[in-house]
C-alpha cells in the first residue's frame, strides 16, 4: 500500500524569519533521511505584509551555514490551508491564537506549537534583534523538528 502523504504547514507572523527557517530545516532533515518525498511542506504567515518576499537574509545565512536552504516566497495563511494540511505548527502562542481564531472548529486539532515535542512554548521572534537570535531560532527548531519527524515516521499508517 502506498504511504499517505504528510502535509505540514509552518506558521509565524511575517513568514520571512522563523517559519522559512523551519521549512528549510525540516526539508533538509527529511532529505537526509531519504524521506522528503513522503512530505508536502510549506510555510505561511498570519500577517500578509511581506507576501511575495524571499526569506530574511539573516534566516538564509543561518540555513546556508547549516547546509540547508529555503527557496519559497512569503504568503499569508488562507482558509483552504486548514483543510489541506495535516499538521499546522505555529512558532509561538500568539501565532497559535491567531490561527485558532480563524480555523474551523472541526480542524482545530490540527494546530500545534512547533516546540511542543521538545517541551517548549515560543520560538522567540528574532526580527528586531541581532544575528544571535537567528542562531537560537535554528537551535530550537532543529531539536523540535527532529522530534516531530520521529513522531510522524513512527506512524506508518498515517494519523492514528
CB of 21 to ligand 4NP, least distance (A): 8
Q: What angle do CA 154, 112, 97 make, to 5 degrees?
A: 175
Q: Does 18 bind ligand 4NP (CB under 6 A)?
A: yes
Q: Does 27 bind ligand 4NP (CB under 6 A)?
A: no
What residues contact 155, with CB distance under 8 A and at least 6 apart?
A: none
Out of 13, 60, 90, 103, point to the residue binding ligand 4NP (CB under 6 A). Answer: 13
Measured from the CB atom, the residue of 35 and 94 that comes closer to ligand 4NP is 94
How far from the centroid of its chain's Cα atoms is residue 87's Cα?
Answer: 9
- Parallel, antiparallel, or unpaired for β 39-45 and 6-12? parallel
CB of 130 to ligand 4NP, least distance (A): 14
Q: Does 149 bind ligand 4NP (CB under 6 A)?
A: no
Q: Does 100 bind ligand 4NP (CB under 6 A)?
A: no
* H helical segments located in 77-130: 79-84, 93-102
Could you tell me the strand order of the sheet in which 87-90 lies? 39-45, 6-12, 87-90, 111-113
- Annotation marks residue 17 as catalytic: no
- Annotation marks residue 71 as catalytic: no
CB of 82 to ligand 4NP, least distance (A): 19
DSSP state of 119: T
| Catalytically annotated residue among 12, 17, 70, 103 | 12
Residues that bind ligand 4NP (CB under 6 A): 12-18, 49, 125, 127
Amino acid at each position: 500500500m502506498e504511504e499517505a502523504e504528510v502535509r505540514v504547514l509552518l506558521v509565524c507572523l511575517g513568514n520571512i524569519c522563523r517559519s522559512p527557517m523551519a521549512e528549510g530545516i525540516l526539508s533538509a532533515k527529511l532529505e537526509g533521511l531519504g524521506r522528503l518525498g513522503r512530505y508536502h511542506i510549506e510555510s505561511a504567515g498570519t500577517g500578509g505584509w511581506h507576501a511575495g518576499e524571499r526569506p530574511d537574509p539573516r534566516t538564509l545565512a543561518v540555513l546556508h551555514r547549516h547546509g540547508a536552504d529555503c527557496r519559497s516566497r512569503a504568503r499569508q495563511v488562507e482558509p483552504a490551508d486548514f483543510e489541506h494540511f495535516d499538521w499546522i505548527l505555529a512558532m509561538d502562542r500568539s501565532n497559535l491564537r491567531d490561527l485558532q481564531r480563524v480555523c474551523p472548529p472541526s480542524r482545530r486539532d490540527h494546530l500545534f506549537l512547533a516546540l511542543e515535542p521538545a517541551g517548549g512554548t515560543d520560538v522567540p521572534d528574532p526580527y528586531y534583534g541581532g544575528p544571535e537570535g537567528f542562531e537560537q531560532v535554528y537551535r530550537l527548531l532543529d531539536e523540535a523538528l527532529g522530534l516531530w519527524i520521529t513522531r510522524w515516521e513512527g506512524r506508518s499508517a498515517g494519523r492514528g
